[in-house]
């Protein structure tokens, strides 16, 4: 049986044992504890009989069948327990990892492997999924066979309704928490934020509200929550007054920011904190868990969500991601004026509304046709399988116009055919908190014969995942995805796909892969 090296999973399993199965709160929820079947409301176990469950968090990767340790073998590798045929995770629309990798490679450096999250590479590109008419999701499940025998890539795609016109969404109450520490003086940090915030202020509605909090060695509320109607000049003056000063007391900034958001809380509005920072905390409370607990309490009590905007060539990626996870939000990274304008002037105003809270996905693989599977990325988004329908367990907060993509490497049993997988998404209505579910199925006969036969958008997804896998694991063939091409081949594929899709983002992907290829020579 094909085996995968799983360096990161080893650490996750050790941490899981120490934690005694406790779940971390936040967008990503906890890492999966011992997996178990969850009965549907009609008492059944889903589309096919549930297997005997073993521990393993739903990765589907297997250890040696003889149970040997192989510790004397220098080439030995640790493997997860036998697969339980369920994979459950909280939804995520972060893209910061890909943006930061692009910035790093543009400067001639390879990104630190610890900052590479494949799901954020995949979710950085447009998809071809159908959209629902109202709140909730459509579920698309498709796949293609790879060059490695009996291995396929399976894509699970979730899509929300298109973003409404600006006049149709609820009003917004946005508290901007802006880092003005000395490091923010670097071109492409505070200057970009100020310019983009100014343009965004002109695009927000009169019934929207804005507050501004700054932090360096201490935090200050520069502008309390203020309606835009009749006050745009005051807001512009507050933005123009921002200047870089001293060190980075991120803890003080977050505490003051959430206090300001709570004081300006508006019923019936989307209340959100927008953190703009390089996330390099070096003064005051730099302990992530303490900062995170403040975010968690405000999220639970008032439903305030967090949107993290990362900037700078030196960037605290891990801290920003954890903050957004704990704050029921997501992160992006901006490296230039085009990125900043898109985030502040297009994406944020258009996607202020929420369409789903605590959204989770569960993919059930049919043990009659599947012997092995691997979820690509979502390492810190795992949810215990039995918690899929436990609505007290955190999931992800998703807005209109979003797509969420999860890619799996799937090993099918030779010569089998029929049902391969059922993917389900569960979420809470953002207003009523009523639970909803949708599902989609995939049969082995629906798999494309090769990646080249799949849709261009599927190929872009695969290309982004292969690229992330190389950056994270290098050229180690034992950890690569099935059918992985070389970087040079990936670059050529991306160039062809850029022509087919006429998508500038795919063209920039090809350029970024080319830079990685040169950096690795």
Tell me, what's the pLDDT at 317? 87
Q: How many CB atoms lie within 10 A of CB 332?
A: 26
**More reliable by pLDDT, 316 or 457:** 457
In this predicted model, what pLDDT tens digit does every residue of 380-394 receive, in sequence order? Answer: 899 999 999 999 998
Burial class (CB in 10 A: 0-12, 13-18, 19+), 415: exposed
Residue 13, pLDDT above cutoff 80 = no
374-380-382 Cα angle (round to 5): 60
For 366, the 3-state DSSP assignment is coil
- β partners of residue 277: 310
355-329-325 Cα angle (round to 5): 130
pTM of the full structure = 0.80
* DSSP 8-state assignment for residue 50: P
Average pLDDT over residues 289-298: 71
Percent of residues, the chain, with pLDDT higher than 90? 57
With cut-offs at 50, 70 and 90, classify the pLDDT of residue 64: very low
Do 27 and 326 contact (CB within 8 A), yes or no? yes
Nearest to 173, CA basis, from 260, 296, 297: 260
Residue 462, pLDDT above cutoff 80 = yes
Give the integer Cα–Cα distance in Å for 394 and 405.
Answer: 19
Angle at which helices 487-501 and 504-520 cross, to 10°: 170
In this predicted model, what pLDDT tens digit does every residue of 129-182 receive, in sequence order? Answer: 999 988 889 999 999 999 999 999 999 999 999 887 666 788 999 999 999 998
Tell me, what's the pLDDT at 273? 93
**More reliable by pLDDT, 37 or 250:** 250
Tell me, what's the pLDDT at 46? 33
Residues 6+ apart with CB under 8 A from 10: 78
With cut-offs at 50, 70 and 90, classify the pLDDT of residue 285: low
Tell me, what's the pLDDT at 167? 66
Query: 225-239, 245-259, 427-441: which has the minimum mean pLDDT?
Result: 245-259
Residue 55, pLDDT above cutoff 60 = no
Rounded mean pLDDT of the chain? Answer: 82
For 494, the 3-state DSSP assignment is helix
Tell me, what's the pLDDT at 150? 96
With cut-offs at 50, 70 and 90, classify the pLDDT of residue 346: confident
Give the integer Cα–Cα distance in Å for 269 and 170.
Answer: 6
In this predicted model, what pLDDT tens digit does every residue of 68-107 receive, in sequence order? Answer: 333 333 332 232 334 489 999 999 889 999 999 999 999 9
Tell me, what's the pLDDT at 166? 62
Do 226 and 195 contact (CB within 8 A), yes or no? no
**More reliable by pLDDT, 279 or 410:** 410
Residue 58, pLDDT above cutoff 80 = no
Q: What is the DSSP string of 398-448?
A: E-TT-EEEEEEEEEEPTT--SEEEEEEEEEE-TTT--EEEEEEEEEGGGSB
- Quickly tell me which residue has 């899929």 as its tokens: 388
Average pLDDT over residues 311-326: 85
For 8, the 3-state DSSP assignment is helix
**More reliable by pLDDT, 25 or 206:** 206
Average pLDDT over residues 46-54: 31
Tell me, what's the pLDDT at 286? 57
With cut-offs at 50, 70 and 90, classify the pLDDT of residue 428: very high
Q: How many CB atoms lie within 10 A of CB 118?
A: 25
In this predicted model, what pLDDT tens digit does every residue of 473-515 receive, in sequence order? Answer: 865 555 578 999 999 999 999 999 999 999 999 999 999 999 9
Tell me, what's the pLDDT at 36? 32
Tokens of 54: 């073993």
Average pLDDT over residues 423-429: 96
Query: 3-12, 244-253, 367-376, 443-452: which has the minimum mean pLDDT?
Result: 3-12
Residue 3, pLDDT above cutoff 80 = no
Residues 6+ apart with CB under 8 A from 342: none
Give the integer Cα–Cα distance in Å for 196 and 193.
Answer: 5
Query: 3-7, 439-443, 482-486, 502-506: which has the minimum mean pLDDT?
Result: 3-7
With cut-offs at 50, 70 and 90, classify the pLDDT of residue 338: confident
CA 263 to chain centre: 30
What is the 3-state composition of the chain as percent helix, strand, coil, each rounded to the nearest 5? 35, 20, 45
Tell me, what's the pLDDT at 34? 32
Give the integer Cα–Cα distance in Å for 62 and 50.
Answer: 18
In this predicted model, what pLDDT tens digit does every residue of 169-194 receive, in sequence order? Answer: 889 999 999 999 988 988 888 998 89
Query: 132-136, 269-273, 356-360: which has the minimum mean pLDDT?
Result: 132-136
Query: 214-228, 284-298, 303-317: which has the minimum mean pLDDT?
Result: 284-298
């Amino acid at each position: 049986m094909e085996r995968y090296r799983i360096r990161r999973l080893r650490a996750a399993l050790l941490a899981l044992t120490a934690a005694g199965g406790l779940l971390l709160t936040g967008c990503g929820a906890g890492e999966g504890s011992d997996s178990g079947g969850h009965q549907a409301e009609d008492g059944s176990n889903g589309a096919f009989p549930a297997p005997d469950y073993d521990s393993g968090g739903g990765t589907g990767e297997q250890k040696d069948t003889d149970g040997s340790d192989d510790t004397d073998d220098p080439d030995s590798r640790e493997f997860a327990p036998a697969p339980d045929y369920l994979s459950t995770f909280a939804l995520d629309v972060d893209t910061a990892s890909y943006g930061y990798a692009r910035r790093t490679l543009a400067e001639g450096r390879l990104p630190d492997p610890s900052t590479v999250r494949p799901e954020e590479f995949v979710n950085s590109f447009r998809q071809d999924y159908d959209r629902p008419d109202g709140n909730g999701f459509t579920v698309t499940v498709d796949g293609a066979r790879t060059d490695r025998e009996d291995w396929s890539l399976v894509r699970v795609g979730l899509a929300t309704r298109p973003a409404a016109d600006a006049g149709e969404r609820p009003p917004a109450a946005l508290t901007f928490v802006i880092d003005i520490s000395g490091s923010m003086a670097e071109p492409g940090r505070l200057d970009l934020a100020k310019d983009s915030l100014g343009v965004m202020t002109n695009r927000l509605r009169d019934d929207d509200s804005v507050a501004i909090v700054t932090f360096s060695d201490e935090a200050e509320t520069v502008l309390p929550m203020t309606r835009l109607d009749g006050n745009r000049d005051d807001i512009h003056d507050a933005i123009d007054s921002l200047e870089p000063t001293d060190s980075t007391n991120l803890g003080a900034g977050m505490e003051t920011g959430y206090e300001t958001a709570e004081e300006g809380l508006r019923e019936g509005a989307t209340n959100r904190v927008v953190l703009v920072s390089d996330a390099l905390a070096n003064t005051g409370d730099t302990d992530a868990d303490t900062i995170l607990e403040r975010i968690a309490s405000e999220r639970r009590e008032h439903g305030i969500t967090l949107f993290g905007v990362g900037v700078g060539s030196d960037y605290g990626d891990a801290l920003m991601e954890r903050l957004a996870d704990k704050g029921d939000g997501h992160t992006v990274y901006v490296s230039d004026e085009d990125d900043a304008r898109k985030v502040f002037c297009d994406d944020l105003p258009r996607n202020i509304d929420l369409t789903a809270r605590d959204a989770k996905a569960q993919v059930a693989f049919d043990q009659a046709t599947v012997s092995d599977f691997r979820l690509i990325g979502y390492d810190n988004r795992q949810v215990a399988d039995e918690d899929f329908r436990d609505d007290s367990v955190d999931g992800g907060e998703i807005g209109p116009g979003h797509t969420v993509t999860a890619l799996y490497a799937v090993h099918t049993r030779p010569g089998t055919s029929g049902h391969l997988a059922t993917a389900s998404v569960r979420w809470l209505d953002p207003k009523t908190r009523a639970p909803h579910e949708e599902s989609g199925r995939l049969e082995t006969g629906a798999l494309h014969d090769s990646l080249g036969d799949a849709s261009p958008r599927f190929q872009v997804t695969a290309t982004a995942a292969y690229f992330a896998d190389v950056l994270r694991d290098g050229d180690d063939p034992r950890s690569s995805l099935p059918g992985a091409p070389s970087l040079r081949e990936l670059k050529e594929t991306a160039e062809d796909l850029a022509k087919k899709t006429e998508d500038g983002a795919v063209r920039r992907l090809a350029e970024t892969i080319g830079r990685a290829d040169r950096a690795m020579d």
